[in-house]
Structure 1
Amino acid sequence: MQENTTHNEIRQLMVEQPRLRTIEIARALNCSELQVIQALPEQVNMLPADQTHSLLTDIADWGKVTCIIEVSGFIFEVKAPFPKGKNAYGYYNLSHDSEGLQGHLKLENVAAIGLLTRKVQGKLSYYTQFFDHDGNSIFKIYLGRNQDGEVIPEQIERFNTLSAQGVSN
């Protein structure tokens, strides 16, 4: 965090402008999105980066989730089961048999993992956010919702089990 950006400044900006997203707060205060996440008053648990592979493998069995990737103001969303992957050629390669998301993940570039429970657009949401070594978001995986817009209870259970293993802020 910049020397003069504190948790209190982040929280104050969140109170003054509650509709700002964490990436927008980071830009406004010239700090990383990871620093903003770590200052959130909501439930945040951190997992060590070395759990990335096992976490992604576990999430692949959860059913439909929403993967969000945001780069330079572009937001991509994929609502589908997270594909299983395997390590090869220095990447965690997502299955090409998947109907949804496909790709190649450089797991060594993950420096931190946040498990968050917070309101997003007025709805309680649960998501996992992966950060690089500069504290920038790589991608997020939100728990899926049923046809009534409710988060899938079985996924909440699995998420809470993971959160209990993390370190609270």
Structure 2
Amino acid sequence: MRTEIEALQKENKKISLAQIAKEIGAEYTEVLKNAPNVREYPRERIEDLFETLRGWERVFLLLVTEGFVLEINDKFPKGFYGHGYLNFHDKDSSIGGHLSVGRIHSIYLVDDIMFGRRSCSIKFYSEDRKEIFSVYVPRNEKKELIPECLESFNNIV
């Protein structure tokens, strides 16, 4: 599958991983696992990842449901554990809620193309291969990826 993905990316520089999944008839998460421009992040290091995100001036958080795409552009919140959830409550962020960290099965660092532009995101998936939420490297007023956040994204190990 990796060879097929690489060939499609070489053939069309503006093809997204989602388009590749449709074209080859594969699940999107299978494409993520095999794409050369995607890294899987260890779940057991999620706190390190969240700490990195808190260092960004802001994030672009995306939550997609069957009938709604929710976009929040703000500072990544601090949280605390209680009742089986990571509870995001931070006076410096409008992002709030309760995350069942134990239900996160896979985390992918994705360098992709969206609407013809480079897009970098961190995608969180459940065991049933459904996306829980994504955090994108934010853009500035010129619609360019914010350089400091992009550098931080590239340095996540």
Output the CA distance in 2 between the equivalents of 1:20 and 1:119. Answer: 5
Number of the residue aligned with 2:152: 158
Q: Which has the higher contact order (CA 8 A, sep 6+)?
A: 1
Whether 1:50 and 2:49 are equivalent positions in the alignment is: no
2:120 alignment partner AA: Y
Q: TM-score, normalised by structure 2?
A: 0.82
**Alignment match, 1:36:** 31
For residues 125 and 30 of structure 1, what CA distance do their matches in structure 2 show? Answer: 21
Equivalent residue, structure 1, for 2:140: 146
Q: Does 1:97 align with 2:79?
A: no
Task: Name the counterpart of 1:67.
Answer: 61
Tell me if structure 1 keeps the 8 A contact 2:38–2:111: yes
Residue pair 2:79, 2:90 contacting (<8 A) in 1 also: no
Report the AA paired with residue 130 of structure 1. F
1:3 — aligned with what?
none
Amino acid paired to 1:61: G
- Aligned-residue RMSD, C-alpha: 2.7
- Check whether the contact 1:13–1:25 (CA below 8 A) recurs between aligned residues: no
**For residue 18 of structure 2, what is the aligned residue in structure 1?**
22
Distance 1:24 1:91 in 2: 35
* Structure 2 residues not aligned, in runs of 5+: none
Tell me, yes or no, if the aligned pair for 1:22 and 1:37 is still in contact at 8 Å.
Answer: no
Mapping 1:74-89, distance limit 5 Å: 74-89=68-83
Corresponding pairs, count: 154
Instruction: Write the distance in 1 (CA, Å) between the matches of 2:30 and 2:46.
Output: 19
Contact kept? 2:80, 2:86, Cα under 8 Å:
yes
Which consecutive residues of structure 1, in runs of 5 or more, have no partner in the other structure?
1-5
Equivalent in the alignment of 2:116: 122
Report the 3-state secondary structure (helix = DSSP H, G, I; strand = E; otherwise coil) of the residue aligned with 1:115.
strand
User: Which amino acid in the other structure matches residue 60 of structure 1?
Assistant: R
Q: Does the 8 Å contact 2:5/2:20 carry over to 1?
A: no
Instruction: For residue 20 of structure 1, report the CA deviation from its aligned partner.
Output: 7.0
**Identical aligned residues as a percent:** 27
